[in-house]
A = this chain, B = another copy of it.
Amino acid sequence: MRRAVVLLSGGLDSATTLSVAIHEGFDAHALSFHYGQRHDIEVTAAKRVAASLGASEHRIAAIDLRIFGGSALTDEIAVPTNCDTKKTSGIPITYVPARNTIFLSYALAWCEVLGAADIFIGVNAIDYSGYPDCRPAFIAAFEELANVATKAGVEGTRFQIHAPLISMSKSQIIRKGTELGVDFSLTRSCYDPVGDGLACGECDSCRLRLEGFRAAGFEDPISYATK
């Protein structure tokens, strides 16, 4: 069985991505990050998702992106809701500088140790088109880099960065995940959970998720503080 490293955040996109990798026959090694999020809920959700879908291993790398600051998700800036999310360039303030570059770099390191050539990442260029590191051009550039950056690449490995959701809408992702048997009740998407982890229902991520479930014609199995 070919091994693959799958980036897993605990949200519904990465859960669906992990399920795609496993259904494509990969021996999936899930990788999550504890990166100074203000809430640990994502990592807890990632653990449940990895176990539920049958990842053969799940590692959590502790990295501290707070030392640089610069984002609503790692800094002390308020998480945006509704229309105040876009800056003039169209990039949300929840953008974390170079985050997916850092995540893929770690995945690449683990690939080399595992002897794997495949990395799965649940980026999506449709609903999150504001994030530069969720676009096909980014994925292609990282693939190029991986082949010249590594011992494995020099020795002939051709790395492939799989982004199976990149052209899908949120509702298509939800339909795909449902079809593959992903238990979305285990996933968490909220940027700003309330109390002991209840999704706020108001941040960008909650709104996108709720709209996705509505458009897909399914009920979101998680609970919200407001709905």
User: A residues engaging B (CB < 8 A)?
Assistant: 59, 61-65, 67-70, 89, 91, 95-102, 105-106, 108-113, 132-133, 135, 137-138, 141-142, 144-146, 148-151, 153-155
B109:A99 contact, CB within 8 angstroms: yes
What CA separation (Å) do A59 and B135 show in the bound complex?
A: 30
A68:B109 contact, CB within 8 angstroms: yes
Q: Nearest B residue to A75 by beta-carbon distance?
A: B113
Q: Nearest B residue to A140 by beta-carbon distance?
A: B148
Known: A151-B91, A151-B97. A63 touches B63 (CB 8 A): yes
A141:B132 contact, CB within 8 angstroms: no
Q: How far is the CB of A63 from chain B (nearest CB, A)?
A: 6
Task: Select A98's contact among B61, B89, B109, B138, beta carbons within 8 Å.
Answer: B109
A113:B68 contact, CB within 8 angstroms: yes
B61:A61 contact, CB within 8 angstroms: no
What CA separation (Å) do A148 and B136 show in the bound complex?
A: 10
A70:B113 contact, CB within 8 angstroms: yes
A102:B106 contact, CB within 8 angstroms: yes
